[in-house]
Amino acid sequence: MALLCVGRVVRPHGLKGEMKVKPETEDPFRLEGLISLHLGAHATTSRRYAVRSVRFQPFRSSWTIVLGLEGVESIDAAEALRGQFVYAQATDLPELQEGEWLIDDLVGLQVFLESGDVVGSVRDVLDLPAHPTLVISRGDGEDALVPAVSPFVTEVNVAERRIVISPIDGLLD
């Protein structure tokens, strides 16, 4: 059972056990209709909860999830879950659209220049306010940060385990 991180509990919301969750996904509405979620510090130690309710509130330029879970019926019970990660079973989530990828799918992919030269491999993807950013291990001990947006990323092929980038001058220096 593959669990994917979809959010993190920020704080309780109200008195009846609901909690505010910061989404860790570009599309928090993917959580609509899920019948269970897992909460914990790590996926391997998380606990399964039946979903009681899911609502969305606008927050700055994004959304906050207001989540109600069976067995979490009070503000104290919700407070005990503060800071926990929220995981969903990968098979329960809707299919990704064309041009969408999971961060876990990008980590480990080889990164190439359009010329075919190897840059390195994706070590991490940072979720920065402006845009996601690839952290590329270059093999020389240095990391390169490349915005994960076009025109910098020209091709992502998860099946072939490769990403092609077109950096501007100085980006990889």
Handedness of CA 92, 98, 102, 106 (dihedral sign): positive
| 8 A C-beta contact, residue 7 and residue 25 | yes
pLDDT at residue 59, as a whole number: 84
Secondary structure of 97-147 in HEC code, one letter for each residue: CCCCCCHHHHCCCEEEECCCCEEEEEEEEEECCCCEEEEEECCCCCEEEEE
How far is C-alpha 12 from the geometric centre of its chain's CA atoms? Answer: 22
Is domain 3-92 annotated with CATH 2.40.30.60? yes
pTM: 0.71
Report the top-level CATH class of 104-165.
mainly beta
Query: What percent of the chain clears pLDDT 70, i.e. is strictly above it?
Result: 99
| 8 A C-beta contact, residue 33 and residue 77 | no
pLDDT category, 13, cuts 50, 70, 90?
Answer: very high
Question: Residue 136: is its pLDDT beyond 90?
Answer: yes
Closest CA to 163 of 152, 171, 173, 172: 152
pLDDT at residue 112, as a whole number: 93
Question: Residue 53: is its pLDDT beyond 70?
Answer: yes
Who wins on pLDDT, 1 or 100? 100
For the chain, the domains span 3-92, 104-165
What is the Cβ-side half-sphere exposure of residue 6, based on CA atoms within 13 angstroms? Answer: 27
Question: Residue 114: is its pLDDT beyond 80?
Answer: yes
pLDDT at residue 1, as a whole number: 62
pLDDT category, 94, cuts 50, 70, 90?
Answer: confident
Question: Residue 108: is its pLDDT beyond 80?
Answer: yes
Cα–Cα distance measured from residue 20 to residue 37, given in angstroms and rounded to the nearest whole number: 14
